[in-house]
Chain A
């Protein structure tokens, strides 16, 4: 096999290795076949073109062509000629496929079935990367650049499937990259015919280079360090499709197509750019949250939406009672796509296009074939019941004989969680007390902190993790609260929707960052009552529910005082635990209080040490390391304990080296001092004194006095600095040549040592082989010569 064909093979194999983390993104392994076909087609066509002696341009063309053909064969939609020749219709078909694929990427969470648009995009992407990769590795012989293509490939699974960041997924791509580098280097070196060590010793074809051990160790070390960093440095891998609910029940449980409310929630919150979703004009002076989904099915994998069973037509909403205040909201749909209608409180009337049904159990208005994407504007009339705190305090929970009891209190058996809940709700008797206990447990005063940099889903382990790390966002808060309440025997469910948003004149604007999750608890009488465990500081447009507090204010104070960790500065966190404290003004326009937000974040951040800052600090300090090291050497040489004519002279010669003044080792101290004086005319006396002291110290029986030597060195330093060009000056500062010499001297020593050892080993082996031959011949002679 010639070198180029071998390199082609290596390129294809390494790319295939790098694709392994994609296993976590797709359901099943069916996607591997077309993807590997694309890689093979590219490799084979490129290799053939090279074998025919064609240049890089034709090679690339051939690879693109073969990719086109194989893509056409796979995705022609009946538009291709002879199945493999694309027509204009094929390309427009591909355009549709891409659009579909992008849509699927946005709404789906991994693992996704590998078919249709997604598979098309994957195959196309891999094919294009394969062409670039082949070009870098084989055509242009720039294997280091191939790291970019491998990185591109690796980033895709990492950005969508957080489990792809697990350390073992990193190893294969890293090994692939090292393979490319090693292979290319071997090819390069063996093209010279012989291999040499650093010290110029010849190494046999099959002997490992004496440097190989060092190389292997450093490669292993780099991988280890990288893996270590991956575990230490917090990474935000929640990308376009965060699979926050990837474990939830599997895809077959969805009744809403493939749309997962959790994915929509975290995907929206993590969107880097904020887009307006809804614009609301309402008669309600302070609207509450817009409900969209209700998640009341709790399994090992967390909360998931119930099978909306459907029910009455949404047009047939019952009107409000006479004594209730009715608000009307006109909602303009700017960007929302969902199979449910976001509505406030208890809707009493809905004016909307399409077919919508109200789910009996949850009150969610579900599209019967209709989607919000088709709705431009709708009007909802609703009431917002405000149950009195006292009523709730006295109300019982859901009656266990209720048919809904099962579905709203069911929870997996997790002993650790049970213990936590037992502790948290100790002494709480009524439902309301339990709710408040859980709210207090999840409050910032108890160390919980709002953070979007969390990707865990709501499954049991994730809930325990959240309770352990005490960092999360509304998803974790809501899931944890509902789960804890269920554990405590209270009927609770998670609601996903949108927060209040921000006021824009008479209207409210709700953006993609206003998606929110909270909890509803069932009280006998008032029914489902919303509670929001998430700290108000983390949620723009957060609403305080007046009933989420103790009925008696005295007790409320007692709770706050009783908490030793509560600090006076935590004003916003107080607002979260006892939202009644929030002034009406703040409630109307909560996002107008940036200081409160910042204070909340800062206060919470100060309590936790983020290792990323340390890493960043170290990274910033890295360029200063040589300078600091050099300064340390200087200080130790000129320090009062160690200073002698010899150390002063060492420092002087090192300074000369730093500033590019060549002092040959064959120069006597006087001559060297002359050279120094020539380089820094201002320091002639200092240099002469240093040289004379050095000569005296080394050659006279008496040694030299050290008086004034440190000053002479400093003088020499400043004069050399003055005489040097700016570039030389910076180099002397940040990358002193004397350090480099020290390091390379050490390295040269080791390399020579290693070469000697290898030579000895080779000698031993050769002589051992010779001995073996001799002994054979002796035996033959003894047999034949003396019968």
Chain B
């Protein structure tokens, strides 16, 4: 596998994907991942949606609930190149992006691609790396390309970064700057499994690690086709208006210092399309938007100091906005 100056192939001639095929594939991935992470189908669904929306996922939760397991299971279910980067304080930007080294045989510098050159990048404990390394990763995430020594290398498609972050452990960590959190399409928390799920987890793991038994149910091509299919989902003007209203509401909310960006609007719509397609529909509904609003918007908001000190969090703010923004901006069509 060489990466030298090889730009990622443009998406192949789109083979139309029927909604049924789309749904079946998604369900395959879902079943696969659920085999590893019990009782978290909604979270898994959202994670898949982020993948198909060409977004990046930030998993933020306490240690041991399966952040890495989820990322790994998702990666295994799709037959594509998976790279894992364990972020440590001494990790350097070149470890992520790659580096040019002198090849004495060719008497020239040769680019050694870093870990970022894969389809699925699993960035564990991203907040342990120094800010400059984080920045290197984040640039790749947004631009989908790497520039080293004046040469630009396109990243592969599909390309998705799943980063995990531990919110409780603060010592020796470098929390992601607010502006950079914006690069992640969604932030998900997994949460503790309920009693039955935990029991099932114990049973399943008695003999072997279920992760090892996973077989891929889709390949990179399939994912590319699915991404294309999702982009074709119809977005009604009323729905776009609703999304814009929601995002605008985050900007005018009194509890928020910094609202969601237009990028948030775009990504929310992309995820909405995917969620609609996952439901077998070719048009998006406000219900899709509402499912996504908290994961997509909450981590981008910066609450005011008063809100933070009052114990408020941005998830509650977004939920509140959802309760108050009318689905149709002029409900009184009398």
Contact string, B310-330, partner A, CB cutoff 8 A, digits 1/0?
000000000000111111100
Q: How many residues of B contact A (CB 8 A)?
A: 23
Judged by a CB distance under 8 angstroms, whether B135 is at the interface is no
Judged by a CB distance under 8 angstroms, whether A607 is at the interface is no
Contact among A671, A698, A745 with B238 in the assembled complex (CB-CB below 8 Å): A698
B285 touches A668 (CB 8 A): yes
B327 touches A699 (CB 8 A): no
The CA of A650 and the CA of B334, in the complex, are separated in Å by: 9
Contact among A650, A667, A699 with B283 in the assembled complex (CB-CB below 8 Å): A699
Judged by a CB distance under 8 angstroms, whether A742 is at the interface is yes
B324 touches A699 (CB 8 A): no
Contact among B238, B281, B323 with A666 in the assembled complex (CB-CB below 8 Å): B323
B242 CB to closest chain A CB (Å) equals 9
A671 touches B287 (CB 8 A): yes
Judged by a CB distance under 8 angstroms, whether B284 is at the interface is yes
The CA of A349 and the CA of B163, in the complex, are separated in Å by: 133
B333 touches A670 (CB 8 A): no
Given A699-B236, A700-B234, A701-B283, A745-B323 contact (CB < 8 Å): no
The CA of A369 and the CA of B284, in the complex, are separated in Å by: 105
Q: Please, which residue of chain A has its CB at the minimum distance from the CB of B276?
A: A699
Give the chain B neighbours of A664 by CB distance below 8 A: 323
The CA of A665 and the CA of B234, in the complex, are separated in Å by: 23
The CA of A746 and the CA of B323, in the complex, are separated in Å by: 25
B326 CB to closest chain A CB (Å) equals 4
B236 touches A666 (CB 8 A): no
B334 touches A745 (CB 8 A): yes
B290 touches A668 (CB 8 A): yes
Q: Please, which residue of chain A has its CB at the minimum distance from the CB of B289?
A: A668
The CA of A752 and the CA of B328, in the complex, are separated in Å by: 22
B326 touches A670 (CB 8 A): no
A666 touches B325 (CB 8 A): yes
Give the chain B neighbours of A671 by CB distance below 8 A: 287
B326 touches A665 (CB 8 A): yes
Contact string, A676-707, partner B, CB cutoff 8 A, digits 1/0?
00000000000000000001101111000000
B105 CB to closest chain A CB (Å) equals 59
Contact among A666, A667, A695 with B285 in the assembled complex (CB-CB below 8 Å): A695
Q: How many residues of A contact B (CB 8 A)?
A: 18
Q: Please, which residue of chain A has its CB at the minimum distance from the CB of B324?
A: A666
B326 touches A666 (CB 8 A): yes
A650 touches B234 (CB 8 A): no
The CA of A666 and the CA of B246, in the complex, are separated in Å by: 11
Judged by a CB distance under 8 angstroms, whether B239 is at the interface is yes
A667 touches B327 (CB 8 A): yes
Give the chain A neighbours of B290 by CB distance below 8 A: 668
Secondary structure dominating the interface of A: helix
Q: Please, which residue of chain B has its CB at the minimum distance from the CB of A650?
A: B333
B334 touches A742 (CB 8 A): yes
B322 touches A666 (CB 8 A): yes
Given A664-B323, A665-B328, A666-B326, A700-B236 contact (CB < 8 Å): yes
Judged by a CB distance under 8 angstroms, whether B104 is at the interface is no
Give the chain A neighbours of B238 by CB distance below 8 A: 698-699
Contact string, A652-684, partner B, CB cutoff 8 A, digits 1/0?
000000000000111111110000000000000
Judged by a CB distance under 8 angstroms, whether B150 is at the interface is no
The CA of A742 and the CA of B331, in the complex, are separated in Å by: 12
A643 CB to closest chain B CB (Å) equals 16
The CA of A571 and the CA of B287, in the complex, are separated in Å by: 80
Judged by a CB distance under 8 angstroms, whether B286 is at the interface is yes
Judged by a CB distance under 8 angstroms, whether B282 is at the interface is yes
B331 touches A665 (CB 8 A): yes
The CA of A696 and the CA of B287, in the complex, are separated in Å by: 12
Give the chain B neighbours of A701 by CB distance below 8 A: 234, 236, 282-283
Q: Which of A670, A699, A742 gathers the greatest number of chain B CB atoms within 10 Å? A: A699
B236 touches A698 (CB 8 A): yes
Give the chain B neighbours of A667 by CB distance below 8 A: 327
B280 CB to closest chain A CB (Å) equals 13
Q: Please, which residue of chain B has its CB at the minimum distance from the CB of A646?
A: B333
A722 CB to closest chain B CB (Å) equals 27
Q: Please, which residue of chain A has its CB at the minimum distance from the CB of B329?
A: A665
B236 touches A745 (CB 8 A): no
Q: Which of B284, B286, B322, B333 gathers the greatest number of chain A CB atoms within 10 Å? A: B286
B268 CB to closest chain A CB (Å) equals 15
Q: Please, which residue of chain B has its CB at the minimum distance from the CB of A668?
A: B286
The CA of A404 and the CA of B238, in the complex, are separated in Å by: 98
Judged by a CB distance under 8 angstroms, whether B332 is at the interface is yes
B287 touches A670 (CB 8 A): yes
The CA of A666 and the CA of B290, in the complex, are separated in Å by: 10
B330 CB to closest chain A CB (Å) equals 10
Contact string, B195-217, partner A, CB cutoff 8 A, digits 1/0?
00000000000000000000000
The CA of A696 and the CA of B285, in the complex, are separated in Å by: 9
Give the chain A neighbours of B327 by CB distance below 8 A: 665-669
The CA of A701 and the CA of B282, in the complex, are separated in Å by: 9
Contact among B285, B326, B332 with A699 in the assembled complex (CB-CB below 8 Å): B285
A753 CB to closest chain B CB (Å) equals 15
Give the chain B neighbours of A666 by CB distance below 8 A: 322-327
Contact string, B238-262, partner A, CB cutoff 8 A, digits 1/0?
1100000000000000000000000
Q: Which of A650, A666, A671, A745 gathers the greatest number of chain B CB atoms within 10 Å? A: A666
Give the chain A neighbours of B332 by CB distance below 8 A: 745
Give the chain A neighbours of B283 by CB distance below 8 A: 696, 699-701
Q: Please, which residue of chain A has its CB at the minimum distance from the CB of B235?
A: A699
The CA of A159 and the CA of B5, in the complex, are separated in Å by: 108
Q: Please, which residue of chain B has its CB at the minimum distance from the CB of A663?
A: B331
The CA of A695 and the CA of B281, in the complex, are separated in Å by: 12
Give the chain A neighbours of B234 by CB distance below 8 A: 699-701
B36-72, CB < 8 A from A = none
Give the chain A neighbours of B281 by CB distance below 8 A: 700
B324 CB to closest chain A CB (Å) equals 6
A385 CB to closest chain B CB (Å) equals 82
Give the chain A neighbours of B322 by CB distance below 8 A: 666
Q: Please, which residue of chain B has its CB at the minimum distance from the CB of A702?
A: B283
B265 CB to closest chain A CB (Å) equals 17
Given A664-B323, A667-B327, A742-B334, A700-B287 contact (CB < 8 Å): no
The CA of A482 and the CA of B295, in the complex, are separated in Å by: 101
The CA of A666 and the CA of B289, in the complex, are separated in Å by: 12
The CA of A665 and the CA of B284, in the complex, are separated in Å by: 19
Give the chain B neighbours of A745 by CB distance below 8 A: 332, 334
Q: Please, which residue of chain B has its CB at the minimum distance from the CB of A665?
A: B326
The CA of A668 and the CA of B238, in the complex, are separated in Å by: 12
Q: Which of B234, B282, B287 gathers the greatest number of chain A CB atoms within 10 Å? A: B287
A747 CB to closest chain B CB (Å) equals 12
The CA of A665 and the CA of B322, in the complex, are separated in Å by: 10
The CA of A698 and the CA of B283, in the complex, are separated in Å by: 10
The CA of A229 and the CA of B72, in the complex, are separated in Å by: 85
The CA of A425 and the CA of B261, in the complex, are separated in Å by: 100
Q: Please, which residue of chain A has its CB at the minimum distance from the CB of B234?
A: A701
Give the chain B neighbours of A695 by CB distance below 8 A: 285, 287
Besides the known contacts A668-B327, A700-B282, 17 further A-B residue pairs in the complex with CB atoms under 8 A apart: A664-B323, A665-B328, A666-B323, A666-B324, A669-B327, A670-B287, A671-B287, A695-B285, A695-B287, A696-B283, A698-B328, A699-B234, A699-B236, A699-B286, A700-B236, A700-B281, A701-B283
Q: Which positions in B face A, CB cutoff 8 Å?
A: 234, 236, 238-239, 281-287, 290, 322-328, 331-334
**Selected A-B contacts with CB under 8 Å, 7 pairs:** A665-B327, A668-B290, A670-B285, A695-B285, A699-B285, A700-B236, A701-B234
Q: Which positions in A face B, CB cutoff 8 Å?
A: 650, 664-671, 695-696, 698-701, 742, 745-746
Top 4 closest pairs, chain A to chain B, by CB: A665-B326, A700-B283, A668-B286, A699-B236
